[in-house]
């Protein structure tokens, strides 16, 4: 992982540079005394971790953090304990109290690795906001937000969007599996609805765009669990 040091204290920078070399897992891209030098290095390199001092002449580490448009992992380094609480209220991954050991630095790096893994999992698990459906010989992109409901027609389904209908050769079960992580709910063997499009629920009926759709007894529990009930 690429890292950068921003610390106005020369001795502290040298000590951290040596520890970084000993980790065997970090590549030090730049060791900066001035904020301007750090920003230049960040803009011209891919930085994973910034070791950031707090008390600096040009601006504090907290102020510097607010200037960053990208989101590298931040590890604050400071000789003062009283900044720790404020540091953890930011997006920082860790807070190192000077002087610190190689073992303590390695623990911080492991925290970054764990946070990076969680971020990757989160990005993978984000539901898609669109699907592609086959129409004749082409594939058409449909934004999920534009879909109102989906109706079963045997081995076909009709996808009803805000402005058009799309008849697709696919079973309702496969559509349900495809949309399982999205904001869609099967309310009947013949209907899947967009939960965001529901205007009203009365007894065993859902209303969307002034049209009524039956809610089967077997699907009713799932529907009520997935809507925001007060």
Of 85, 40, 28, the residue nearest 62 (C-alpha) = 85
Q: What pLDDT was estimated at residue 140?
A: 87
* Confidence bin at 193 (pLDDT 50/70/90): very high
Q: Tokens 């899947």 appear where? A: 192
Find the DSSP H helices in the chain: 10-23, 35-44, 61-67, 84-88, 102-125, 172-178, 217-226
| Contact partners, residue 169, CB within 8 Å, separation at least 6 | 134, 155, 156
- The answer to whether the CB of 48 falls within 8 A of the CB of 112 is yes
* Segment 71-81 mean pLDDT: 92
**CB neighbourhood size of 16 (10 A):** 24
Of 73, 75, 87, 74, the residue nearest 117 (C-alpha) = 73
Question: What distance in Å separates the CA atoms of residue 91 and residue 98, rounded to the nearest whole number?
Answer: 20
Q: What is the residue-averaged pLDDT of the chain?
A: 90
Question: What distance in Å separates the CA atoms of residue 14 and residue 220, rounded to the nearest whole number?
Answer: 65
Q: What pLDDT was estimated at residue 125?
A: 58
Q: Give all domains of the chain, ordered by start, each with its CATH number.
A: 2-125 (3.40.50.2300), 130-226 (2.40.50.1020)
**CB neighbourhood size of 38 (10 A):** 25
Q: Does 124 have pLDDT greater than 70?
A: no
**Higher pLDDT residue, 103 or 126?**
103
* Segment 7-29 mean pLDDT: 96
């Amino acid at each position: 992982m690429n890292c950068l040091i921003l610390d106005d204290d020369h001795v502290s920078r040298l000590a951290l540079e040596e520890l970084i070399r000993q980790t065997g897992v970090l590549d030090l891209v730049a060791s900066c005394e001035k904020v301007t030098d750090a920003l230049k290095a960040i803009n011209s390199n891919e930085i994973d971790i910034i070791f950031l001092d707090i008390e600096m002449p040009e601006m504090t580490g907290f102020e510097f953090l607010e200037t960053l448009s990208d989101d590298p992992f931040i590890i604050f380094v400071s000789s003062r304990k009283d900044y720790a609480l404020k540091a953890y209220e930011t997006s920082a991954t860790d807070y190192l109290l000077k002087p610190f050991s190689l073992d303590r630095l390695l623990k911080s790096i492991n925290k970054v690795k764990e946070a990076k893994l969680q971020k990757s999992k989160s990005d993978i698990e984000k539901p898609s906001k669109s699907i592609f459906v086959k129409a004749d010989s082409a594939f058409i992109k449909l934004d999920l937000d534009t879909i109102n409901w989906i109706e079963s027609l045997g081995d076909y389904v009709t996808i009803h969007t805000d402005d058009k209908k799309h008849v697709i050769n696919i079973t309702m079960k496969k559509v349900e599996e495809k949309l399982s992580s999205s904001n869609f709910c099967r309310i009947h063997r013949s209907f899947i609805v967009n939960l965001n499009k529901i205007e009203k629920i009365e007894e065993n009926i859902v209303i969307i765009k002034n049209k009524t759709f039956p809610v089967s007894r077997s699907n009713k529990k799932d529907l009520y669990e997935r809507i925001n009930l007060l």
